[in-house]
Amino acid sequence: MKKELKIYLASPRGFCAGVKRAIEIVEKSISKFGAPVYVRHEIVHNKQVVEELKEKGAIFVDELSDIDDASRPVIFSAHGVPKSVPEEAKLKNLSFVDATCPLVSKVHRESEQLNKNGFDILLIGHKNHPEVIGTMGQLPKGSIKLIETKNDVDLLKENDFKKPLAYITQTTLSVDDTAEIIEALKNKFPKIKGPIKEDICYATTNRQSAVKEIASKCDMFFVVGSRNSSNSVRLVEVAKKAGCNKSHLMHSEKEIPFNEIENSEIIGISSGASAPEKLVQTLLNSLKRDRNVSIEEVIVAEEKVVFKLPKELN
């Protein structure tokens, strides 16, 4: 007799509108321009997605200088790029399609507007993440200062800034951790200006809310996603903070810890915004082999957001 296993399945989970659009941009570019097309950096942070696009005819490069055939188009990843990248592409006569998520582009426009209006800008985000590199690269070097933790806020001094102060954030951060940093900034700089509509994107917020809703009821929690996916890593942190210490990131190299699952009665599952749903289904099927599984989907929001494709592909 198989033991019972209850699974709470978080919803929304998996692909967000920006990721769907970015993948579609690569696929449509291949069908419109033929293979190969180049993609600068991973289009989205998921190994499976990247491998499948390679099979269809995408060649992934780190920099534009790695492109062997300048007659082929290049696509910029969903995380956004510094201003210098399209400028370099134009100099090299490369045709390019920008797959930057529109919600990341919104933060880019914000930074330009703040700079134009004479603000000093703080960016809350993770150092070396492609989105942060892209956002900081919208303005001349030194125009944006990166804040990673509350501790960084403590180190700021009033007289570090000659102009009025404003903050923007990376779109895939932990909602709660960011709120703490923003609170510390507002306590220290009461006049600091924030975005009209917050920068953390709807998909990040919804996925974290769904995880919070169920993690405390679970013996274990699994987030399907890649190690370099900021929003997936944040979901694991959110699950732990919400009360499930045994929370794991299920990336492509990670084996399912069946021996630990053996002692669990209730498991939670979600997936990062760049993780394909079939990876979630594969995990569920593996669990069904040894256990009598009942699944309850916990829905905290309905997502109807769709982003238009760039005009080059219409």
- Contact yes or no for 222/283 (Cβ under 8 A): yes
Structure tokens at 28: 């449509």
Task: Let me know how long the chain is.
Answer: 314
Cα–Cα distance measured from residue 310 to residue 314, given in angstroms and rounded to the nearest whole number: 7
- Contact yes or no for 267/221 (Cβ under 8 A): yes
Angle value at C-alpha 23, between 13 and 47, nearest 5 degrees: 70
Residue burial 23-36, b: 16+ Cβ < 10 Å; e: rest = bebbbbbbeebeeb
State the angle between helix axes of 175-188 and 202-215 in degrees (0 to 180), rounded to the nearest 10: 110
Q: Which residues are catalytic?
A: 131
